[in-house]
Amino acid sequence: MSMSIESVDCTQGTYVTLMLGEQLCGLPVSSVRDILGEQPITRIPLAPPEIAGSLNLRGRIVTSIDLRRRLGLGATTDPQGRMSVVAEHGGELYALLVDQVEEVLTLPANALEANPPTLPPPWSQFSRGVCRLEQRLLVLLDPERLIQVAEA
């Protein structure tokens, strides 16, 4: 269910915040099924670079998507301690690999703004919009868009 900026229901503005490099990002808490610490990931031969591999989550094989690579940040210099945010799409689970999970924020209904023109692709492709916090810009990612590209 991809939503345009106009159709986002900001009254449900609760997000899990995470770090990708130096950028603070958010995922809707309603799309998060689990948050995992560092997990062993098995590389999948011939998979695109943004597919980190697969991991075992309570007996289910889960595709792991490296959000750093998906968003053009490249591989991390310190792969230790990375975390996975598990989201579901089409009955399948996907682990979105991030640098760090921060906190859960509830944002006011009027906090969501359209993507600024300076937000580079592919960030703008995968973003629902941004929120200006006191000291930072929070980029709200659309997990369904991130996962759909992985399926293609």
Kindly write down the DSSP assignment for every residue of 114-135, as one continuous string: PPPTTSPTTHHHHEEEEEE-SS
Hey, how many other C-beta atoms are within 10 angstroms of the C-beta on 55? 20
Q: Specify the CATH number of the domain 5-151.
A: 2.40.50.180
pLDDT at 122 over 90: no
Task: Enter the DSSP assignment of 95.
Answer: E
Please write the tens of the pLDDT for every residue from 20-71: 999 999 999 999 999 999 999 999 999 998 999 999 999 999 999 999 999 9
* Residues linked to residue 60 through DSSP beta bridges, in sequence order: 57
Quote the distance between the C-alpha of residue 66 and its chain's center: 9
- Residue 130 binned pLDDT confidence (cut-offs 50, 70, 90): very high
pTM, to two decimals: 0.85
